[in-house]
Amino acid sequence: MQTLSTTSSRVSPETAGMLLGLLGVAIFSLTLPFTRLAVADLDPTFAAMARAVVAALLAAGWLRWQRAPLPPRAALPGLAAVAAGCVIGFPLLTSMAMRTLPAAHGAVLVGILPLATALFAALRGHERPSPAFWASALLGSSLVVGFALRQSGGSLHAADLALFAAVLAAAFGYAEGGRLAQTLGGQQVISWALLLALPVALPLTLWQAWDAGAALAAARLPAWLGFGYTCVFSMFLGFFFWYRGMALGGVARVGQVQLVQPFLTLLGAALVLGEPLRAAHVAFALAVIAVVAVGRRTAVRRRLS
């Protein structure tokens, strides 16, 4: 995309990565509110798998338009990790959780995603964050987990386990996708991952459509609008900016931008679903943004592979 390259040519790669990552996070921040809107009428498995199928069709069109070459064989394991974590795991688990959890509650739990992403990047051996970076990541994650416990009265809902598993799945996919984007480009990473997931997503979608055809026909317009957003933006376009940002600025550092995602999601939940936005939300948002600013200035050693 020309806008991505134009943006990165006018500023330093690290700053461009942070800006592109922030744009991706802004798109992702509405995923939980629109998912909750979709699963109000649609089966969670259908909502998750069908959105992967629609996004895969968009990806196939984009790859054909770009005349993109097939990915190298060495990239296939990483692409499979992106497909498993970001295309199958995260959408399926969050769709199940959003059947019973408010989007605002789910938003704060997803706030630990930056720490999980940095952890996977470090375990995979591609980046070595400094102690100061880990301290800022832990502090930011502690803030959002503390916020979740405060909102739920000191205990977690049963569906919280699904959200924590979703975070681990997404973090693994983000770390692998950010690494691959350095050589393949973010657009190709998510596009090939979507196509790799199609043999799993398409049969599940068809089975759910056959099994729950009457319920799908009775689904209201807001549910389909929520589903449409997750197909086009959450599952496809958002990753264009997100993976390009991580390729430029580093997985661990750009991943810290996600610390503001829970509070953008809270705002989205208020606007889309009418869930209340309280002063405590703003206070925690300001605290987390301050932690992101500190983490932005800490050292992260990078090694291309």
Higher-confidence residue: 17 or 151?
17
Q: Structure tokens of 208?
A: 């759910």
Average pLDDT over residues 107-116: 79
Q: What is the DSSP string of 183-217?
A: HH-HHHHHHHHHHHHHHHHHHHHHHHHHHTHHHHH
Give pLDDT tens digits for 156-182: 677 888 988 999 999 999 888 888 888
- Judge whether residue 108 has pLDDT over 80: no
Average pLDDT over residues 114-133: 76
Average pLDDT over residues 121-138: 76
Give pLDDT tens digits for 275-297: 887 777 778 777 877 877 677 66
- Judge whether residue 65 has pLDDT over 50: yes
Which of 102, 287, 74 lies closest to 184, judged by CA? 74
Q: Which amino acid is at 297?
A: R
Average pLDDT over residues 72-93: 94
The pLDDT assigned to 18 comes to: 87
Distance CA 280, CA 275 (A): 14
Distance CA 244, CA 223 (A): 30
SS3 state at 65: helix
Name every residue whose Cβ is closer than 8 Å to that of residue 200 and which is 6 or more positions away in sequence.
49, 88
- Judge whether residue 114 has pLDDT over 60: yes
- Judge whether residue 218 has pLDDT over 80: yes
- pLDDT category at 238 given cuts 50, 70, 90 is very high
Average pLDDT over residues 249-267: 81
Distance CA 83, CA 87 (A): 5
Distance CA 91, CA 232 (A): 13
The pLDDT assigned to 127 comes to: 64
- Judge whether residue 91 has pLDDT over 80: yes
| Cα separation values, 149 from 52, 146, 190, Å | 32, 5, 34
- pLDDT category at 6 given cuts 50, 70, 90 is very low
Residue 17 half-sphere exposure toward CB, CA atoms < 13 A = 21
- Judge whether residue 12 has pLDDT over 90: no
The pLDDT assigned to 276 comes to: 84
The pLDDT assigned to 126 comes to: 59
The pLDDT assigned to 7 comes to: 46
Distance CA 232, CA 217 (A): 21
Name every residue whose Cβ is closer than 8 Å to that of residue 161 and which is 6 or more positions away in sequence.
none
- pLDDT category at 41 given cuts 50, 70, 90 is very high
Helix intervals (H) in 29-155: 31-39, 44-66, 76-82, 90-97, 103-109, 113-123, 131-151
The pLDDT assigned to 71 comes to: 93
- Judge whether residue 152 has pLDDT over 80: no
Instruction: Judge contact between 56 and 241, C-beta under 8 A.
Output: no
